[in-house]
Amino acid sequence: MFTRTALEAVTRPPAAFLRSSWPWRSLAYLLSSVPLAALASGVVYAAVEFGVAIACAAAVLAVVVLGPVLAWFERVRLRLVDLAPVRVDRTRSAGPRAGLTARRARQASLPGTRVRQAAHPGTRARQAARSRARVAARLAACLRDQATWRAYGFVTLALGVMWVVDLGMVSLATWIPLVLLSGPLQPDIDLATGLALAAAGIVLLPLSAYLMTAWAGARAMITRAVLAPADAEVVRSRARLVDAFESERRRIERDLHDGAQQRLVALSMKLGLAKLDLPPGSPAAAQLDEAHEEAKKALAELRELIRGVHPQVLTDRGLPAAVLDVAGRSPVPADVDLVLPVRPPVPVEVTAYYVVCEALANVAKHSGATRCSVRGRLVGGTLVLEVGDDGIGGADPEAGSGLAGLADRVAVADGVMTLSSPPGGPTSLRVELPCPAPAPAETPRPAPSPAATPCPVLPPVENTWTTSPRA
């Protein structure tokens, strides 16, 4: 078994653990707190020598100036006890949209598309101003970034408390066994007692190894959670995957629309024309009729398929129109009340659309309802959607009803899904999707519907089952 962290190492068989490098790695990890100790001692020394006020100022200055360096140092020494890669990629931590922007930037630099170059030579002042603006923008992004503040918090903790525990653990774990081992060498202890003490020391050594490794592992876990949270990266990479799938679906939809569908329509038209030329009742006419019917069926099937792959109306007209359309095809009559003053960003629209589709499909398949409703509003920066029905209730997300997949999809968009479905009904599915202000539209978008009104807050439903990305 490949061991990746100190904590995993502790759970291995004792012989394997003690022979491994993990105790030594842990020792090194904890000892590398010495610079922190020196820094903290410096502050204490300053307090004694120059007064508490100056010491406090020095401490704040040290944290502010050295914070990023110390955070980097923590990540570097994390490798001693945690072999999983640590990635801190600031351009990515701006959220799922950052990936999109990067992709657009790449597309813009593809051959064939012209990239604007700095047009006027010798305008150094302007370039300097531009680079100053860039630095300011990066600084602002840094300050807005949660990761920056997490790092400062962690550094404060490490400087204030953690080094004491680190070095305390090392001394506790090494000092007692070493003192015991030195028994035979002590002048005022007789040899037999000394040897007995040394034996006790030898027994204690492995225990010390466990003690140190366990604390080093725990400390590393805290460090990773705060300074290099992996799950956020996973969520973001999932979001990028969903984005990629979505653009692929659009491409497939376009290809089917421009290719197979056009040809089938042309074929159907030719068959229709051919029918006009044949005398009715002839054997060929009957065959042709059949062929024509088949072509029409194929067209109808293809139409549904294309709609499933990517709903064009969602792109053209936005969420309310697309939802109205889905509701129109729902076997269970659905009332739609969806008013959005602005169009949400595309990934939010797509997620919301699939939520409604899946929810309505579930209503039709499982609920036994006679009517259902879709309601949606933008509340603050959140798109709140509710799909309710008057059916038998008892919807179970574990029973493969598609609800689990829906929850995953919502989680990728950083949203929360809440299901209330007591046996006997009614069922209500509530989805909240964070909905940042839409980016400057890349395609011309129609003006918001005149019916757009300020949105009343929907009352939260009773919470029986909730998923969230962090759950």
Partner 1 sequence: MDHLTSRVADVSGLRVVLAEDAVLLREGLAGLLRRFGHEVVASVGDADALLAAFEEHEPDIVVADVRMPPGFTDEGLRAALTLRAARPGLAVLVLSQYVEQTYAAELLDTGGGIGIGYLLKERIGDVKDFVDALERVAAGGTVVDPEVVRQLLSRRRDPLTRLTPREHEVLGLIAEGRSNAAIARRLVVTEAAVSKHMAAILAKLDLPPAQDDHRRVLAVLAYLRA
- Residues forming the site for partner 1 (CB under 8 A): 254, 257-258, 261-266, 268-273, 275-276, 292, 295-296, 299-300, 303, 306-307, 312-313, 315-317, 321, 324-325, 327-331, 333-335, 371, 443-444
Residue 272 or 381: the one with the smaller Cβ distance to partner 1 is 272
Nearest distance from C-beta of residue 405 to partner 1, angstroms: 25
Amino acid at 143: L
Residue 334 or 429: the one with the smaller Cβ distance to partner 1 is 334
Nearest distance from C-beta of residue 101 to partner 1, angstroms: 22
Question: Which residue in 422, 414, 352, 362 sits closest to 384, CA to CA?
Answer: 352
Residue 261 or 351: the one with the smaller Cβ distance to partner 1 is 261
Sort 416 into a burial class: Cβ within 10 Å, 0-12 / 13-18 / 19+. buried
Q: How far apart are the first and last CA of the chain?
A: 29
Nearest distance from C-beta of residue 252 to partner 1, angstroms: 14
- Identify whether the C-beta of residue 193 lies closer than 8 Å to the C-beta of residue 180: no
Residue 14 or 341: the one with the smaller Cβ distance to partner 1 is 341
Nearest distance from C-beta of residue 453 to partner 1, angstroms: 19
Structure tokens at 265: 């329509």
Cis bond leading into 320, ω under 30°? Answer: no
CA–CA distance, 257 with 251 (Å, rounded to integer): 10
Nearest distance from C-beta of residue 337 to partner 1, angstroms: 13
* Number of CB atoms found within 10 A of residue 413's CB: 26
Residue 231 or 258: the one with the smaller Cβ distance to partner 1 is 258
Residue 335 or 462: the one with the smaller Cβ distance to partner 1 is 335
**Which letter does DSSP use for residue 338 in this model?**
E
How do 334-339 and 372-379 pair as beta strands?
Answer: parallel
Nearest distance from C-beta of residue 443 to partner 1, angstroms: 7
CA–CA distance, 371 with 333 (Å, rounded to integer): 5
Nearest distance from C-beta of residue 360 to partner 1, angstroms: 12
Question: Which residue in 88, 39, 76, 62 sits closest to 220, CA to CA?
Answer: 76
Residue 324 or 452: the one with the smaller Cβ distance to partner 1 is 324
- Strands (E) in 298-425, as ranges, are 334-339, 372-379, 382-389, 416-420
Residue 224 or 292: the one with the smaller Cβ distance to partner 1 is 292
Residues 6+ apart with CB under 8 A from 69: none
Residues 6+ apart with CB under 8 A from 426: 388, 389, 390, 391, 393
CA–CA distance, 10 with 12 (Å, rounded to integer): 6
Q: Can you name the residues that pair with 434 across neighbouring β-strands?
A: 382
The SS3 assignment for 403 reads: helix
Nearest distance from C-beta of residue 109 to partner 1, angstroms: 22
How do 416-420 and 427-434 pair as beta strands?
Answer: antiparallel
Question: For residue 400, is it left (φ>0), alpha (ψ between -120 and 50) or beta?
Answer: left
CA–CA distance, 415 with 251 (Å, rounded to integer): 27
Nearest distance from C-beta of residue 318 to partner 1, angstroms: 9
Residue 333 or 460: the one with the smaller Cβ distance to partner 1 is 333
Residue 331 or 460: the one with the smaller Cβ distance to partner 1 is 331
Nearest distance from C-beta of residue 104 to partner 1, angstroms: 17
Residue 28 or 274: the one with the smaller Cβ distance to partner 1 is 274
- Identify whether the C-beta of residue 385 lies closer than 8 Å to the C-beta of residue 355: yes
| Phi, psi for residue 382 in degrees, rounded to 5 | -130, 135
Nearest distance from C-beta of residue 423 to partner 1, angstroms: 25
